Chains A and B, each alone.
Chain A
Amino acid sequence: MAIGSNLNAQQALLNHQLNYAKKGLGWGVFSGATWGLSGTILYYVALAMAPFWNESYGLWMIILGSLVGAAMHDGFAGLWLALINLFTGRWKEYGRTLRTKPGMMVCLAALFGGPLGMAGYLIGINLATPTYALAISATYPALGAILGVFILKEKIQPRVWIGIIACTIGAFIVGYLPPEGGIEAYPHFYLGIALSFLPAIGWAIEGVISTYGMDMVDPDIAIGIRETFSFVVFMILIVTVVGVVGGAGLTAGWSIFAQALAAGKPAFWVAVAGLAGGLSYLAWYRALNMTGVGRAMAFNVTYALWSIPFGWMLAMLQGTQYTVTNLGIIGALIITTGTILVVANPKELLKLRN
Chain B
Amino acid sequence: MAKEVLPMRFRVLHYAAQKKDSFSYHDILKDLKDEYGGEGQFNKGMAQLHLDSLRAVGMLEIADAELDANNELVIKYKITDYGMDRLKYLPDAWKKIS
Interface residues of A (CB under 8 A from B): 1-3, 6, 8-10, 12-13, 16, 20, 24, 87-90, 92-93, 96-97, 99-103, 213, 215-218, 221, 289-292, 352-353
Contacts and interface: CB of A to CB of B under 8 A. Distances in A.
Contacts of B46: 88
B62 A216 contact: no
Contact of B4 (A13, A96, A292, A353): A96
B32 to A, nearest CB: 14
B10 A100 contact: yes
Contact of A289 (B4, B8, B57): B57
B42 interface: yes
A20 to B, nearest CB: 5
Interface residues of B, number: 32
Given A9-B65, A13-B62, A20-B52, A218 B8 contact: yes
A201 to B, nearest CB: 26
B97 interface: no
Secondary structure at the B interface, as helix, strand, loop or mixed, is mixed
A100 B91 CA distance: 7
B10 A216 contact: yes
A255 B26 CA distance: 54
A99 B4 contact: yes
B13 interface: yes
B73 A89 contact: no
A13 B52 contact: no
Contacts of B53: 289-290
Given A218-B7, A218-B9, A353-B58, A13 B41 contact: no
B41 A216 contact: no
Interface in B1-47: 4-10, 13, 39-42, 46
A92 B39 contact: yes
Nearest to A16: B73
Contacts of B54: 216
Nearest to B82: A215
Given A20-B56, A96-B7, A99-B91, 7 more contacts: A2-B64, A3-B66, A97-B7, A215-B57, A216-B89, A218-B8, A218-B9
A348 to B, nearest CB: 14
Contacts of B52: 20, 290
Contact of B39 (A89, A101, A217): A89
Contacts of B89: 100-102, 213, 216
B7 A100 contact: yes
B69 interface: no
Contacts of B59: 215-216
A12 B65 contact: yes
B33 to A, nearest CB: 14
B96 interface: no
30 contacts: A3-B62, A6-B67, A9-B65, A9-B66, A12-B65, A16-B75, A20-B56, A88-B40, A88-B41, A89-B39, A90-B41, A92-B5, A92-B39, A96-B10, A100-B7, A100-B10, A100-B90, A100-B91, A101-B89, A215-B58, A216-B9, A216-B10, A216-B89, A217-B9, A289-B56, A289-B57, A290-B52, A290-B53, A290-B56, A353-B57
Nearest to B58: A353
A89 B58 CA distance: 26
Contacts of A93: 7-8, 41
